[in-house]
Structure 1
Amino acid sequence: VDTLGLLIVLIVHRADVAERQGAQWLLRRAAAKMADFGRLRLFFADQGYGGLAMWEWVKNTFRHLNWRLEIVKKIHKKAFEALPKRWIVERTFGWLNLYRRLSKDYEYSTKSSETMIKVAMIHIMLNKLNKGN
């Protein structure tokens, strides 16, 4: 999801798939769509996707696209503070939780989960466009 809330690439995978493996699948799918979204350059991820191995993988695999991976580190403070760029992801999860089929994991397959997320994001984008008029 970009800063405007536009869904660019989506992957839903089983719970037994490691976060880093899922991230690699997602970035490969994004690379295949580069003709449509040529401006992608910087990807933000939380600490679950971090580590030197993941950073090096992105750097080496997507060198021709000049992609960078930036890990958003948690700030351990007692007061609430929005983490840089993390709010975009959390806001999107909040939007999706407003849809009954996405508020719990009702779907039997990952493909139907992906489809329900796409339908919800289409609805969200249409509402945003309608408010602009």
Structure 2
Amino acid sequence: MKLKLFVLLQSVKIIWADRGYSGRELFDWVFTQLNCYLEIVKRQKGHQGFHVLPHRWVVERTFAWLSRSRRLSQDDEREPRSSESQVDLASSRLLLRQICHNQIAY
């Protein structure tokens, strides 16, 4: 069974993941089930402390935008479908704000 995202978007060919997701079994599963590659985003050598990792900022920024929605600030939903609907609503609101050049008050 393919995930909904990969049914709708065949252009997704690479999934970026944290070091915690490294492992041969996961690489193989992603390739066979989703027909794309799993790329682990690693720290750059020689850097100490905090620094922005490539591609990770996109995910972190998206989570920050979604967490501004009051219903998503806590996970109080009983059904996973309800949580998914709230993420869809928050994403739609963000998309509408971008289309309307941020004219809609949050």
Higher relative CO (Cα under 8 Å, sequence separation at least 6) belongs to: 1
2:48 pairs with one of 48, 64, 77 = 77
Please state how far the C-alpha of 1:73 moved relative to its aligned partner: 2.5
Task: Report the residue type matching 2:48 in the other structure.
Answer: K
Give me the TM-score of the superposition, normalised by structure 1: 0.65
Give the share of equivalent positions with the same residue, in percent.
Answer: 36
Report what 1:96 is aligned to: 66
Give me the TM-score of the superposition, normalised by structure 2: 0.80
Report what 1:68 is aligned to: 37
Please state how far the C-alpha of 1:71 moved relative to its aligned partner: 1.1
Q: How does 1:108-127 map to 2 (within 5 A)?
A: 108-127=78-97
Name the CA distance, whole Å, in 1 between partners of 2:32 and 2:94.
35
SS at the partner of 1:70? strand
SS at the partner of 2:15? strand
Q: Which structure has the larger Rg over C-alpha atoms? A: 2
User: How big is the alpha-carbon RMSD for the aligned residues of Structure 1 and Structure 2?
Assistant: 2.3
SS at the partner of 1:131? coil
Structure 1: stretches of 5+ with no match in the other structure: 1-24
Please state how far the C-alpha of 1:72 moved relative to its aligned partner: 1.4
Structure 2: stretches of 5+ with no match in the other structure: none
Name the CA distance, whole Å, in 2 between partners of 1:98 and 1:132.
15
Report what 1:52 is aligned to: 24
Q: How does 1:14-33 map to 2 (within 5 A)?
A: 28-29=2-3, 30-31=5-6, 33=7
Aligned length: 100
